[in-house]
Structure 1
Amino acid sequence: MDVHRDFCEIAIVEPDGHARSAGRINTVVEELELFARSLAADDVVALEATSGAGLIAEIIEPHVAAVLVANTRKLPQISKATAKTDRLDARTLARLAGSGFLETVWAPDERTRALRRLCARREALVRARTRAKNEAHAVPARNLCGRPPVSDCFGKKGRAWLAELQLPIDERLTLDGCLRQIDFLDTEIGALEAALATQALDSPQIQRLMTVPGVNLHTAAAFMASVGDIRRFPSARHVVGYLGLDPRVRQSGNAEARHGRISKAGSSLARGMLGEAAWSVAQTPGPLKAFFERIRARKGPQVAATATARKLACLFWCLLTRQEDYAYARPSMTRSKIRQLELAAGAPPRKGVRGIAGNKNAQTREAEREIARRAETAYRRTIADWKAAGPAKTGAGATPGRASSRPSKGKAARQTP
């Protein structure tokens, strides 16, 4: 099926390899359901990954043996063809599916698609709000009004300061328009965050990822929206490659491997949220902070942030596959995150109830921070012992320019109690 917004071009490949066109159907639910009922139980349907591919696959899948959603980035037979029409594209898809050489992608379920839409919509609104705020900041700067006396120009005191500025008429219209846009976007973002919080309260996976200090709802939701079913990935390396956090490597012959930037092949939203979480994790005591500082000392803060984002992706895979919370979680902080989700989802406030927020006791917070500092110290000691030992590499790990080597199994890190 070559899917378009208005119609779908159908092509059929028989068991003997003969391909023929089978006409068009309109891209509406009723005609797609009628087409699905006309198929045989042993048929295989192939279509490209487009905006409506998920729903089309969901309609057809119960009536056929399999529905293959093709990876459009790996279809040079269509994108680079000298003769390219809808009929030829449909025939090419059918031939590739019949021969077994069609590169496919995972088709998410409706819950994952809804989470993806919410995360993408929120990201677009946040970017629009940032543009409006930058434009509003530019108005006082253009008119030499000096620095604002408050840190937030869009709070109560900041808006009072903006209202007192003596500006030309056109600049005042620009500033007031930006403030109205910001108010509208704040309302829209709040509605989306309430919907995200409701989904997070029904998702044990998102709540499990939020046990990592420095990881909030938006990072956990963006990761789950991009990855979906974590059981699809046999190892953490596959998750890293899926998100585009793996470095490019070029090597041929006896020459050393050349390492480049990350591939950026996956979801830009999830990759960006992991990058933001990496900077937050770097400010929180724990092993991840020590990891960030170790990389920063050698390669600078930007590379360290990317490496920490990759480490977070590996950590998320471990937590979800093992169905365990983060070992160095801070329980009071986690309870506060869950309570914030409940309030955002519309739960009534319960002021005065002891322990409902979980993070207001200074002694509890300090005790948990001390445990995190000890874990950070243990990590630093483990790395120091590993460097001091300096085991000689043998075998494939000793290849010059090798990108990475797998850690040895069954060897515990040496550290004092």
Structure 2
Amino acid sequence: MNNHIGIDVHQKKCHATVQDEDGMTVRQGYFQNSPSGFEDFFDGIGTGKTAIEATDAWQPVYDWLAERGFDVKLAHPHKTRIIAEVKIKTDCRDSEALADLVRADLIPEVYVPCDDMRELRGIAKQRGKLVQEKSKFKNRIKAQLRRRGIEYSGRSLWTKKGRLWLRDLEIDAVNDFLEVLKTLNERISELEGEIEGIAGDMEESQILMTIPGVSYYTALTIIAEIATIERFPSPGHLCSYAGFVPSVKQSGSKEVHGSIQGGRPLLRWILYQATHNHILNAPNSHVTKFYKRLKQKKPKKLAKTAAARKLTTVIYWMLKLKEEFHPEGYDPRTSR
């Protein structure tokens, strides 16, 4: 365990640096991002403390190393670069910087969910991507209509009647896009059935679905992104994780709040959607009343963000205390 290893991961290849306890490079080079590539590079290395940046392709090498007894840490890319710039004065490659940070015990870790939560995240993310693709093809159909000067305002294009109207126009590109939309809708329906089955058996999703406007998909996505509420010491930590905490610049007694930064994009998006749906479906809830009061003084977008932050705080306490949604609000300090 005296080895200190940094791995820069890409879709097809990885670059690794293996250092001994004195910082001397024992092995360095590229290898395929595949089990055979891992076998070739790490043959004879033994185990060691290892850091991998949290990119899209981290899972195969992370799992392979963890199964073989390596002490693996998933590093936060942005924070790693900041620390490396401050602590490491040499112009070294990413894998060398990671190895140096491992040896100095300065790796900013990212939470690694269990296999079940990874699967949930994959399902939620896939459904989200397919919905985004649907929006793209709908916009392409509208662009085809505008290009030909065909008026469609006031007409619902995506109902059965609307789709028949589009097909009667006999525009090849529009018909092609409608076929793609049909396939996407079928796959989204399949995923939603799978999501409903999973969420229906989870206590956490049942709790979250007591919030007006929160569906099976919304509940499952929130749970998949959070993984476990126990890893957040406070509601503020969860809000920060979701990306609802504004940046702060302070100089002397002056404090300036900027835009929200960071966070997990999918979690932030789904919480925005939940907030929007909640405001529409629960006009008398304390979250909706908070939004309406704030909207009178602040721009609508800022009020919606603040309401999403409030709903995120509510979700924190619901999951922490295992309590259903309270429309009138409650003080968690006096709750059971």
Q: Same fold (TM over 0.5)?
A: yes
1:58 pairs with 2:85? no
> 1:180 matched to which residue of 2?
179
* Secondary structure of 2:296's aligned partner: helix
Q: Note the C-alpha offset of 1:22.
A: 5.2
Q: How does 1:7-156 map onto structure 2 within 5 Å?
A: 7-21=13-27, 25-29=31-35, 32=38, 35=42, 39-40=46-47, 43-64=48-69, 66-76=71-81, 77=84, 83-84=91-92, 88-147=93-152, 150=155, 152-156=156-160
CA distance in 2, matches of 1:50, 1:81: 24
Q: For each residue in 1:2-37, what CA deviation from the matched residue of structure 2 results, as whole angstroms up to 9, or x when unmatched?
A: 234444444333334444325555432356479499
Alignment CA distance shift 1:36-1:207 (3 Å)? farther
CA distance in 1, matches of 2:154, 2:309: 39
Contact persistence 1:33–1:59 (CA under 8 A): no
Q: Note the C-alpha offset of 1:147.
A: 4.1
1:281 to 275, 278, 283: 278
Alignment CA distance shift 1:31-1:142 (3 Å)? closer
> 1:364 matched to which residue of 2?
none
Q: Note the C-alpha offset of 1:233.
A: 0.9
2:205 aligned partner, one-letter code: I
CA distance in 1, matches of 2:105, 2:27: 20
Q: For each residue in 1:121-173, what CA deviation from the matched residue of structure 2 results, as whole angstroms up to 9, or x when unmatched?
A: 222221221122223234444545444675x22322223333444xxx7xx11
CA RMSD of aligned residues (A): 3.1
Contact persistence 1:148–1:161 (CA under 8 A): no
1:281 aligned partner, one-letter code: H
CA distance in 1, matches of 2:123, 2:89: 36
- Return 5+ residue gaps in structure 2 as ranges: 1-5
Q: For structure 1, which segment, 175-184 or 216-225, has the greater mean C-alpha deviation from structure 2 after superposition?
A: 216-225
Aligned residue-pair number:
323
Q: TM-score, normalised by structure 2?
A: 0.83
Contact persistence 2:34–2:60 (CA under 8 A): no
Contact persistence 2:52–2:74 (CA under 8 A): yes
Q: TM-score, normalised by structure 1?
A: 0.68
1:258 aligned partner, one-letter code: V
Contact persistence 1:116–1:225 (CA under 8 A): yes
1:303 aligned partner, one-letter code: L
Q: For each residue in 1:280-299, what CA deviation from the matched residue of structure 2 results, as whole angstroms up to 9, or x when unmatched?
A: 11121311111111111111
CA distance in 2, matches of 1:37, 1:223: 42
CA distance in 1, matches of 2:36, 2:102: 26
Q: Note the C-alpha offset of 1:261.
A: 1.5
> 2:265 matched to which residue of 1?
268
- Return 5+ residue gaps in structure 1 as ranges: 329-374, 383-406, 413-417
Q: For each residue in 1:305-328, what CA deviation from the matched residue of structure 2 results, as whole angstroms up to 9, or x when unmatched?
A: 111111121111111121222234
What is the aligned-residue identity percentage? 28
* Secondary structure of 1:68's aligned partner: strand
Contact persistence 2:167–2:174 (CA under 8 A): no
Q: Note the C-alpha offset of 1:184.
A: 1.5
Q: For each residue in 1:335-384, what CA deviation from the matched residue of structure 2 results, as whole angstroms up to 9, or x when unmatched?
A: xxxxxxxxxxxxxxxxxxxxxxxxxxxxxxxxxxxxxxxx3xxx7xx9xx
